[in-house]
Amino acid sequence: TELLNGVLVLSRAEAGRLEFHPQPLNLEQFCRDLVEDLQSSAPEHQLLFSLTGNCTQVAMDEKLLQHILPNLLSNAIKYSPRG
């Protein structure tokens, strides 16, 4: 299902029909939750989250971030050495 949803988002983006609906979002908590989820699925890797500056409340499309950031981080995990 995740793979299919990713393909659908990509095809909408390529067709110029990707909708962007920014809403208030606590970006720090979003990232902390994402790192925690990925850490549980890849316990052999140590994931560290570091925040610089004050970037907690932003206006972003959480659905789009749910497609983009997990993909980037899972690729980083997949292609990084253990430990």
CA 10 to mean position of chain CA atoms: 15
pLDDT at 83: 67
pTM for the whole thing?
A: 0.73
- The crossing angle, in degrees rounded to 10, of helices 62-78 and 27-41 is 40
Q: What is the pLDDT of residues 8-56, one digit of tens each?
A: 777 777 777 778 889 999 999 999 999 999 888 888 888 888 888 877 7
